[in-house]
Structure 1
Amino acid sequence: MAWVWTGMVLLSLIFGIATGNLDEVANAALEGAGSAVELSISMAGILCLWSGVMEIMNACGLSAGLARAFRPILRRLLPEASRDEETLAAVSANVSANLLGLGNAATPLGIRAARRMARSCDGVASNELCLLVVLNTASIQLLPTTIASLRAAAGSQTPFDILPAVWLSSAMSVAAGLAAAWLLSRRKRRRL
């Protein structure tokens, strides 16, 4: 990735020099850096708010209840991982956090679940581990808090008016991911 960014900077400088617009390139870089800092600060506040909401949900047991609600579905999707209660709890919490649009809170839970699932894989990802990655990456979101935060920071008066589109697109991405994982696992079984 460092090579990509270095290449983009070098190309910008080369074209800035070639076209005589080097001052404009430098000004755009400084303006972009300032905008990035402003966005980061506004996002930090909003992410702190939603992380606090998640902590309150954890303290009052709402997130545990939400995770329990997903366990029957997850037991059908991940039967081997469901045998270990701690792994199932981590997967359930990961799905719950993703459902609330808290990807930054879901990531450590997903990593913990993946580590627990990888113990029995002997260096090769199992179908269930790949399915966990699909569920974590595609994730159905009821409240897209991160996107709404970005929209609010950009000045949107109604940052949550995207809910129907988010629900539809996230449901479609999870369905497509699950279908692809299922087809690839069947193909793998046929080759064996």
Structure 2
Amino acid sequence: MVNLIWFSLIVIGIIVAALEGNLQKVNEAAFEGAKAGVTICFGLISILVFWLGMMKIAQESGLLQIFAKILSPLARRLFPDVPKDHPAMGYILANMSANLFGLGNAATPMGIKAMEELQKLNPDKERATPAMITLMALNTSSITLIPTTIIAIRLNYGSSNAVEIVGTTLFATLCSTLIAILVDRYCRRNYGYK
């Protein structure tokens, strides 16, 4: 559906530009946008590769397992209907850990695997379970200690202090996660998502 919306917007834009005689400007904008996109991607790739490498080191050194143990009691309370030793819990903890470090791109595959494992526990395959809803809410709002993607964008555009946003990002994501948990619990209690 989103692809259809974007395609429609592009086609409408080209038609309007053709009617107004501005096809040359559309062509120039497309090439400038592509150039800017490639430039931004190279800047993001370098930072993401660095942090993914750091995550790999953290994983190999056992640091992620320590974070998983720290997050485990919280995860047990947030996902009471997921068995303790089920593979879904491991993927949920890995997803939460990656999101803590601002590695949304690295967290996504773990979140997908967690959803696949949660679907195996789902008695009604056509409806999301409360654990699936909670995971989606947490994954969308997750607390971020190090916003690597934003830091990479700021560095790419020559920021003199790219990491100055860490404190405000931490506060904002803490608020969003708290609201997500409260709304999730409210919906579970009042709308029968138990």
Asked whether the two chains share a fold, i.e. TM above 0.5, the reply is: yes
How far apart, in 2, do the equivalents of 1:23 and 1:87 lie? 52
User: 1:71-117 deviations in whole A, cap 9, x for unaligned?
Assistant: 01111111221423432222111111100001111111112222222
**Which structure 2 residue ranges, 5 or more long, are not aligned?**
none
Pairs within 5 Å for 1:27-42: 27-42=28-43
How far apart, in 2, do the equivalents of 1:20 and 1:81 lie? 60
How far apart, in 1, do the equivalents of 2:140 and 2:41 lie? 23
| Corresponding residue pairs, total | 191
Equivalent residue letter for 2:89: L
What is the Cα-based RMSD across aligned positions, in Å? 1.7
Which residue matches 1:141? 144
Secondary structure at the aligned position of 1:41 is classed as: helix
How far apart, in 2, do the equivalents of 1:7 and 1:16 lie? 14
Q: 1:74·1:82 contact (CA, 8 Å) conserved in 2?
A: no
Equivalent residue letter for 1:168: F
Q: Indicate which of 157, 167, 171 corresponds to 2:174.
A: 171
Q: Which has the higher contact order (CA 8 A, sep 6+)?
A: 2
Pairs within 5 Å for 1:17-96: 17-96=18-97
Which residue matches 2:161? 158
Higher mean C-alpha deviation, range 45-54 or range 81-90: 81-90
Q: 1:127·1:185 contact (CA, 8 Å) conserved in 2?
A: yes
**Which structure 1 residue ranges, 5 or more long, are not aligned?**
none
TM (norm. structure 2) is: 0.91
Higher mean C-alpha deviation, range 52-61 or range 39-48: 39-48
Secondary structure at the aligned position of 2:128 is classed as: coil
TM (norm. structure 1) is: 0.92
Identity over the aligned pairs, expressed in percent? 32
